[in-house]
Amino acid sequence: MTLTRFGTHSLALAIAVSVLAQDPAPKPDSTPQGEPPKPAEPKIELTVNGKILTRAAVDAQMERIMRGSEKIPPHQIGGVRKRERRKILERFTEWALLVCEAERRNLTTPQEEAKELQRAKDSLPPDRTWAQLAEEAPGGEELLRAEVLGNFKVKKLIDTFRTNDVVITQQELDAYRERNKKRLQQPERVTARHILIKVEKDDDESVKAEKKKKLDGIRKQILDGADFGKMAKEHSDCPSKENGGELGMFARGRMAKPFADAAFSQELNEVGPVIETQFGYHIIQVTEKLPAGPMRNEDIKKRLEQQKRQQAVKDLLKELRAKATITYGNSR
């Protein structure tokens, strides 16, 4: 995959393909009667430094990607499938290279890995279990664990680039501003955090009323002195709960209208009343407001720092690829 969104891109989570996956069923063979049949060797699509991507895993990913392909003109289907398959192989190659590098650097401990597996289990929706996911994965629980831990290792590696010092000179700032005058004009923005109590499609009015009442109670606790971030971690149904409900800075058009209307009308640091969107019930706290106008120097600096870190990851991948052992098919 391309690394155009370093820091927010989903490199570590982009693939639902497998390491060590097996084909779903063994092929019959000529094993003598009375001896258990030998499992068929999995068809290998790609191997990167010993990390294996099976054809079954690629096919499963392709099936998900191509759902709804009836909207694609028939004469374009072949080309689309070919491009998407190449993307899967490229995503896996980058993922495997970074996992191997993280392992070489010993960036995770067994204790951290055990904690990450538990976190993954705890973060599943109420209607999903780890056992269900393991059963659905082409390679069972072994595959699932490999994916979770591989993603964790990649994240640890990427984090080392985030913490590296990057120097942006005034000359670089001025040159960037000069080149991007029009693009640096920004709309009104706010920085906010929220707590979400999710509403399901089949929730009746009484269930919805109970959920709203729950969030009203959480809001009252915050107004009485409870920490917003801690309450978000404990109660929110949004993935942002891991960061205390933080959503970062956003313009009005990036959020659902009821949410944006509330966020942009609230007073700074106020914990607003419960609002409803298509996702459920929210309470919002706005911690910063910026009027429309040119991008601030500090924001330009952050953008340039991000670009330099992106380039550092690209350079690392280029270096790792040059030294990697990459084979296609079963020629391991």
Q: Do 269 and 286 form a contact (C-beta atoms < 8 A)? A: yes
Amino acid at 324: A
Cα 27 to Cα 56: distance, rounded to the nearest angstrom: 14
Q: What is the pLDDT of residue 28?
A: 44
- Report domain extents, the chain: 11-164+313-328, 186-293
Q: What is the pLDDT of residue 26?
A: 38
DSSP code, position 70: G
Phi and psi dihedrals of 309, rounded to 5? -70, -40
Instruction: Write out the H or E segment, with its range, that includes residue 45.
Output: strand 44-48
DSSP string covering 230-296, please?
A: HHHHHH--SGGGGGTTEEEEEEGGGS-HHHHHHHHHSPTT-BPPPEEETTEEEEEEEEEEE-SEEPP
Q: How many CA atoms lie within 13 A of 172 on its CB side?
A: 13
pLDDT under 50: residue ranges of the chain:
1-31, 331-332
Instruction: Write out the H or E segment, with its range, that includes residue 186.
Output: strand 185-186
What CATH fold (topology level) applies to the domain 186-293? Chitinase A; domain 3 (3.10.50)
Do 11-164+313-328 and 186-293 have matching folds? no
Q: What is the pLDDT of residue 138?
A: 65
- What pTM did the predictor assign? 0.62
295's CB contacts (< 8 A; 6+ apart) are 184, 185, 186, 303
Q: What is the pLDDT of residue 15?
A: 36
What CATH fold (topology level) applies to the domain 11-164+313-328? Triger factor/SurA peptide-binding fold (1.10.4030)
Cα 220 to Cα 273: distance, rounded to the nearest angstrom: 10
Q: Do 161 and 128 form a contact (C-beta atoms < 8 A)? A: no
Q: What is the pLDDT of residue 215?
A: 96
Q: What is the pLDDT of residue 64?
A: 85
